[in-house]
């Protein structure tokens, strides 16, 4: 395996780093509050970064999300690329790809996902009913990808549904999604094909599993960036903050805590890279995605706590930039399944003999 970025992936990553670095400043993030930064999203789309994901693959997206995580930039970049561009590209019909992919790429269509919830009921004519209590970036989205009770995937226009604002730990413009006989569009086929028996059900389950694994891999990459940003802030602070005439960074306890956080961050990064690389290469990656998700949850929790603790009293200041990394890290450590949940899923896969080769 080779995780070395291609020329296209490296160029996209460097461009993303420059845009996020220039526009995702502490002052702008503070002004945005719990909402998204429309100007930043516009800049990313005009630079062609969401559209580029179709060419640079999941590994390329992970690289871009690392840069977003470093600055905790408040845009629906991960959601729209995972639940929109990659999901439609891999599992949409030819008509859906032709209609939706250009609009997702230029940002006029924003997709989020109500996964892994599968509480939506499907009526005989394809109308959807059910409630998903929390959907990240729902307030920014034009479409939401939902899963029915059989794990079939449907695209729903947010204008056809009820979307009520919900505040999360992290500022993810979340909402509560209520569907009441709401029209939905089956991802990848017509309603007749969706209700076409065991083969159609198996195809729907395969698409659901792939989208969920893709999401877990991508958000692990986002967590790697959040943790890297937290560690960088801690290193900068402990090298400049003096105690008894010496920088805090000269103390062995501080060095060990920072070193542990660094190694945890690298573990999140490399497992996300491996899962993404395997998907791009067409290899089985189910257990690798779960492994990346476990590291993102368990190690991510440790890293953002360490980053805050290494700031001492400043870490308790809710307005300090490091606190934003803490909030994002804690939100990500439970999103799409906390560590114990994904570990149980991983164990089931291994016991059932369905683990990756």
Q: What is the largest CA-CA distance in the chain?
A: 74
- Please report how many Cα atoms fall inside a 13 Å half-sphere around the Cα of residue 192, on the Cβ side: 0
- DSSP-derived secondary structure letter, 5: P
- Please report how many Cα atoms fall inside a 13 Å half-sphere around the Cα of residue 259, on the Cβ side: 8
Per-residue pLDDT of 128-179, as tens digits, reads 999 999 999 999 999 999 999 989 999 999 999 999 999 998 899 999 999 9
Judged against a pLDDT cut of 70, whether residue 250 lies above it is answered with yes
- Please report how many Cα atoms fall inside a 13 Å half-sphere around the Cα of residue 110, on the Cβ side: 22
Judged against a pLDDT cut of 60, whether residue 357 lies above it is answered with no
Distance (Å, whole) CA 139 – CA 68: 19
Per-residue pLDDT of 291-309, as tens digits, reads 999 999 999 999 999 999 9
pLDDT of res. 37: 93
Total-model pTM = 0.94
Q: Kindly give the residue spans of alpha helices, DSSP state H, lying in the chain.
A: 7-23, 26-32, 38-46, 49-71, 77-79, 87-91, 94-105, 191-194, 198-240, 252-280, 286-309, 321-332, 339-351
3-state secondary structure of 114: coil
Residue 88 tokens read as 């439609």
Query: How far, CA to CA in Å, does 114 sit from each of 69, 92, 119, 162?
Result: 21, 17, 10, 14
Q: What is the mean pLDDT of residues 40-61?
A: 97
Paired with 167 in beta bridges are: none
Find the length of the chain. Answer: 357
Question: Which residue is listed with tokens 């792939």?
Answer: 210
């Amino acid at each position: 395996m080779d995780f070395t970025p291609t020329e296209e992936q490296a160029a996209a990553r460097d461009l993303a780093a420059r845009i996020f670095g220039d526009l995702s400043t502490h002052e702008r993030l503070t002004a945005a509050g719990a909402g998204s930064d429309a100007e930043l999203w516009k800049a990313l789309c005009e630079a062609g970064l969401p559209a580029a994901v179709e060419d640079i693959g999941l590994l390329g997206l992970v690289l871009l999300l690392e840069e977003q995580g470093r600055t905790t930039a408040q845009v629906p970049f991960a959601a729209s690329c995972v639940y929109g561009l990659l999901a439609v590209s891999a599992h949409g019909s030819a008509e859906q790809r032709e209609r939706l992919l250009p609009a997702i790429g230029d940002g006029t269509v924003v997709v989020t996902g109500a996964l892994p919830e599968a509480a939506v009921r499907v009526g005989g004519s394809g109308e959807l009913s059910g409630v998903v209590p929390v959907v990240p970036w729902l307030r920014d989205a034009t479409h939401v990808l939902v899963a029915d009770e059989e794990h079939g995937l449907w695209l729903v226009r947010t204008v056809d549904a009820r979307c009520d604002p919900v505040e999360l730990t992290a500022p993810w413009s979340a909402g509560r999604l209520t569907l009441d006989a709401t029209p939905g569009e089956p991802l990848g086929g017509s309603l007749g094909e969706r209700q076409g028996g065991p083969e159609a059900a198996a195809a729907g389950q395969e698409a659901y599993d792939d989208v969920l694994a893709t999401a877990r891999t991508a958000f692990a990459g986002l967590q790697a960036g959040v943790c890297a940003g937290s560690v960088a802030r801690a290193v900068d602070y402990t090298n400049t903050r003096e105690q008894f005439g010496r920088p805090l960074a000269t103390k062995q306890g501080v060095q060990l805590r920072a070193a542990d956080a660094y190694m945890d961050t690298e573990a999140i990064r490399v497992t996300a890279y491996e899962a993404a690389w395997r998907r791009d290469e067409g290899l089985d990656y189910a257990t690798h995605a779960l492994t990346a998700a476990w590291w993102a949850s368990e190690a991510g929790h440790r890293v953002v706590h360490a980053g805050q603790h290494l700031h001492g009293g400043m870490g308790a200041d809710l307005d300090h930039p490091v606190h934003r990394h803490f909030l994002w890290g804690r939100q990500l450590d439970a999103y799409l399944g906390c560590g114990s949940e994904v570990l149980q899923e991983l164990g089931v896969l291994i016991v059932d003999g369905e683990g990756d080769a």
